[in-house]
Structure 1
Amino acid sequence: MKTTLFRSLRLLAMCMSLLAFTVACDDDDDDDLPIIDDDLEFENIALSGANERPKVITDGTGTFNGEYDPASNTLTYSLSWTLGEPTDSTIMMHFHGPADTTTSAGIQIPILGHTRNYTGTFSGSATLTDQQEQQLEDGLWYVNIHSGTHRNGELRGQLLED
């Protein structure tokens, strides 16, 4: 009788262990877990003269898209733009900060190698310092496109994450 009881208890313990293992391996409940992504994403940031400080009057427009990877401290980006005057030229581009949407700030990183035409596209990347990363995360950076007509900036877009 004791032997039968011990066998039954041992069989029950094995079944319970197998059941616990099976439930622990079930991945159906993993679908609701959030994916941790520390990257900052900037999608379709509008560039305009109305965003300049002080505002400028221009028919020019542009778009900025980018992603910041904190693991590598790299901001990868693409820009497209058209200045307000076809006879104008793009003379400079920069990332500026720290500044909110109501103020201007100094150059943080120049954007080199872009076309000097009145319209264009450009892609690039930049490595940020820890201080620059914090400013970017806080929404205190903007991209600025300077033209021959508006040397202080014709098109500006604040880099605010989606």
Structure 2
Amino acid sequence: MGLMRKLSMAVLLSAAATSAVYAEEVAYKATLTGSAEVPPTTSPGKGSVDATLDTSTKAFKWTISYEGLTGPATAAHFHGPAAVGQNAAPVVPVKVPEAASGNVSGTQTLTDAQIADLENGKWYFNVHTAKNKGGEIRGQLQPSH
């Protein structure tokens, strides 16, 4: 093997190793409560979101559970960009069971802008009911270490 070919192989291997270092799964969590809604609700409901973002494929995967809502869930979404105490439009709708308690999981490929908002703490998740059309329980997504 010639020197140039050896150098080319070394550069290719180095580039492959470097890109693999930057590809990772980042975990996110949120605790869903009525007091986190804007405006706050008096809902006895609660829930949680466990999610991961694969930074190389941009696949965002979630597992969500909720219980004790004032009635059946009518809708659920990831919203953004918004800080705690602010509202924003839905960015990823989530199909949830029409029940006061439920578990759901799913996957969505995110855009670069959505990833930037998520990484900057500007996403929240909430579950809506007939009694609380704007959202009954909510939680801000934060990296979980």
* Band the TM-score falls in, shorter-chain normalisation: 0.7 to 0.9
CA RMSD of aligned residues (A): 1.4
Q: By how many angstroms is 1:55 displaced? A: 0.8
Q: By how many angstroms is 1:105 displaced? A: 0.5
Higher relative contact order at CA 8 Å, sep ≥6: structure 1 or structure 2?
2
Is residue 72 from structure 1 mapped to residue 57 from structure 2 by the alignment?
Answer: yes
Distance 1:142 1:40 in 2: 16
> Of the candidates 59, 82, 89, which is equivalent to residue 99 of structure 1?
82
For residue 107 of structure 1, what is the amino acid of its counterpart?
P
Distance 1:78 1:49 in 2: 19
Q: Per-residue CA shift, 1:23-75, capped at 9, x if unaligned?
A: xxxxxxxxxxxx866322024x2100111111111100001101011111111
> Of the candidates 120, 130, 136, which is equivalent to residue 148 of structure 1?
130
> Of the candidates 99, 121, 124, which is equivalent to residue 106 of structure 2?
124
**Alignment gaps of 5+ in structure 1:** 1-34
Is residue 50 from structure 1 mapped to residue 35 from structure 2 by the alignment?
Answer: yes
2:18 aligned residue? none
Max Rg structure: 1
The normalised TM-score by structure 1 is: 0.72
Distance 1:109 1:76 in 2: 11
1:38 aligned residue? 24
1:20 aligned residue? none
Q: 4+ residue stretches of structure 1 with deviation over 6 A?
A: none
Which is richer in helix? Answer: 1
Which is richer in strand? Answer: 2
Q: By how many angstroms is 1:82 displaced? A: 1.0
Aligned residues: 124
Contact 2:23 2:55 in 1 (8 A): no
For residue 66 of structure 2, what is the amino acid of its counterpart?
W
2:118 aligned residue? 136
1:30 aligned residue? none
Query: What's the % identity of the aligned pairs?
Result: 30
Contact 1:142 1:158 in 2 (8 A): yes
Distance 2:138 2:24 in 1: 26
The normalised TM-score by structure 2 is: 0.81
The secondary structure found in structure 2 opposite 1:135 is helix
